[in-house]
Amino acid sequence: MASETNRASTRRLDPQFARLLGARRAARLRSLVRETGLPPEALLDLALELLDIASRKLSPPPLRRTAVELGAARWRNVSPEARSEIMRRAVQARWDKQRKERARDERPGASS
């Protein structure tokens, strides 16, 4: 019996805190306390953790955002034809480099 009253007192929302929250939020918190059986402090901690996780997923780190903006800025005033030509030359240069490395490695007497 004593443990039930102790548990009920920890699950009860402080009247002063309820006034600070406002009627709608306090009622929502009370219903969540009733549904989950968790104390208000634990529910608020959980809500803060969820917000923290969600905010990290919604906003990419500044370095990645800067890199994306720089990449977009690189092609901003380039026509599709010019972009295609530049990309084709870059790919051909990479293929040439790989071919030269393979040919060098396949030569007899080549040392690594």
Q: What is the domain partition of the chain in residue ranges?
A: 2-58, 62-106
- DSSP conformation letters of 7-53: HHHHHSPPHHHHHHH-HHHHHHHHHHHHHH---HHHHHHHHHHHHHH
| Residue showing tokens 């929502």 | 28
The tens digit of pLDDT for each residue in 9-64 reads 556 788 898 898 899 999 999 999 999 999 999 999 999 999 988 887 777 666 66
Look at the pTM and tell me if it is higher than 0.85. Answer: no
Computed from CA positions of residues 81, 82, 83, 84, in that sequence, does the dihedral angle turn out positive or negative?
Answer: positive
